[in-house]
Amino acid sequence: MSETLTAPVARPAARTQAISLRQLRFFTALADTGNFSRAAERMIVSQPALSAGIRQIEEHLGMRLFDRSTHHVLLTEAGATFLPHALRLLKTADNAFVDMSDAASRGKAVVRIGAIPSAVPAAAEAMARLGQQAADVCLHLSDGKNDALIESLRIGALDIVIGVLGRAEEGLQATLIAEDEMLLVAPKDHPLAAAASLPWSALEGSEIVHFVGGSIGELSSAAMRQNNLSPSTRYKVDQVGSLVGLASSGLALGVLPRLYTRGLDTDRVRLVPLVQPAIKRKLMLFHRAKLHEEHPRAAALCALFVPALRDALAI
């Protein structure tokens, strides 16, 4: 059976604010399952109750969020636009409930930080450096791929992200922490290892291993294409230890950002900056533009965290 709703009508903000978290959970469950029955089962409510909740949201908004038919339940254009905001609000609410519990039991606010793996050691060092300046917060730290971290930031699962600058990120603010240059990783007895710096063209004819995926892969691949270089087809790695192991054995030359080489045992390899072109990743601290309204303590922490990260990195 199809359902209809009157044409969209603009509603004042007060009507939108009347939407409950429970109704938003109904909406996201239906958007995810595309089926009233399965969504009702997930929410442990009757199907009529779920249908009534969806209708109430649509009435509050003055627009249809789903196209319903006997066989399909699909998001309308308005529904698809509304979905990420609903998800972010629910995630923020979930975090707030956890934070309230922590605040009540520990007397501390929770700030969730995400970092790309190569920045985790510096993030941990910066967190330790903050010491008494952050004594009133409980800092959580997790790693992940840059795109996944940025998405977690958008939906409110994270408050701060230390990642690399890619495309322009609407709704986010970014502060430069450091520029991360690309290095050649070569055996200490390799002819190229003694150079102070090298053009990428010096790698011509060599087996070259690098991380194919992510921002690192994009940067190094672009530099290699500019110099008619090709990555090795024999050796493929996505771990620092694997790349350094191949380089130290003399089977291949490695290409890595300097950030990945922090704390690396350089007894068997040499690190040489690659120039012409000089390829640098921009390491940034990201947060939502409205973080100062959503989580004032996390926003205040950003001002302390940036210099602490720069000190920890010292690059």
- Determine, yes or no, domain membership for 263: yes
- Position 104 scores a pLDDT of 56
195 and 209, same domain (yes or no): yes
Using DSSP bridges, classify how beta strands 198-199 and 208-209 pair: parallel, antiparallel or unpaired.
unpaired
- Position 105 scores a pLDDT of 54
116 and 242, same domain (yes or no): no
165 and 286, same domain (yes or no): yes
139 and 186, same domain (yes or no): no
184 and 173, same domain (yes or no): no
List the one residue out of 297, 302, 295 whose CA is nearest residue 173. Answer: 302
Which of 84, 112, 144 terminates a domain? The answer is 84
Beta bridge partners of 143: 115
- Determine, yes or no, domain membership for 8: no
- Determine, yes or no, domain membership for 3: no
Are 217 and 281 in contact by the 8 Å Cβ rule? The answer is: no
- Determine, yes or no, domain membership for 4: no
- Determine, yes or no, domain membership for 1: no
Element of type H or E holding 269: strand 269-275
- Position 119 scores a pLDDT of 92
- Position 4 scores a pLDDT of 42
Look up the CATH number of the domain holding residue 59. Answer: 1.10.10.10
- Provide the residue range defining the domain that includes 252: 180-280
Query: How many angstroms separate the Cα of 235 from the Cα of each of 153, 156, 210, 231, 242?
Result: 34, 39, 9, 9, 10
Which residue shows structure tokens 């291949």? 252
- Determine, yes or no, domain membership for 5: no
Are 284 and 175 in contact by the 8 Å Cβ rule? The answer is: yes
139 and 190, same domain (yes or no): no
pTM for this entry = 0.66
Q: How many CB atoms lie within 10 A of CB 80?
A: 12
Q: From CA 278, how far away is CA 108, in angstroms rounded?
A: 44
Q: From CA 104, how far away is CA 97, in angstroms rounded?
A: 11
- Position 9 scores a pLDDT of 44
135 and 270, same domain (yes or no): no
Query: How many angstroms separate the Cα of 36 from the Cα of each of 2, 55, 59, 69, 74?
Result: 13, 12, 18, 11, 11
Are 165 and 97 in contact by the 8 Å Cβ rule? The answer is: no
187 and 134, same domain (yes or no): no
Which of 29, 55, 84 terminates a domain? The answer is 84
Q: From CA 220, how far away is CA 107, in angstroms rounded?
A: 46
- 160, 164, 167, 169 alpha-carbon torsion, rounded to 10°: 10
186 and 155, same domain (yes or no): no
Q: Is 214 exposed, middle or buried (0-12, 13-18, 19+ CB in 10 A)?
A: middle
Which of 84, 113, 142 terminates a domain? The answer is 84
Q: b/e map of 127-164 (b: 16 or more CB within 10 Å)?
A: bebbeeebeebebeeebbebebbbebbbbbbbbbbbbb
Q: How many domains does the chain have?
A: 3
pLDDT per position in the chain (315 positions), as tens? 344 444 444 444 445 567 888 889 999 999 999 989 899 999 999 989 999 999 999 988 888 999 987 677 899 999 999 998 888 888 777 777 766 666 555 567 789 999 998 899 999 999 998 887 888 888 999 999 888 999 899 888 899 999 998 766 788 999 999 998 899 999 999 999 999 999 999 999 999 999 877 777 778 888 888 888 888 889 988 888 899 999 999 999 999 988 888 877 778 899 999 988 888 889 999 999 988 888 888 999 999 999 999 998 875
152 and 199, same domain (yes or no): no
- Determine, yes or no, domain membership for 121: yes
Q: From CA 64, how far away is CA 73, in angstroms rounded?
A: 12
Q: From CA 299, how far away is CA 123, in angstroms rounded?
A: 16
Query: How many angstroms separate the Cα of 89 from the Cα of each of 24, 101, 224, 265?
Result: 9, 18, 43, 45
293 and 173, same domain (yes or no): yes
38 and 105, same domain (yes or no): no
- Position 7 scores a pLDDT of 41
Look up the CATH number of the domain holding residue 192. Answer: 3.40.190.10
- Determine, yes or no, domain membership for 45: yes
- What is the amino acid identity at position 96? A
- Position 8 scores a pLDDT of 44
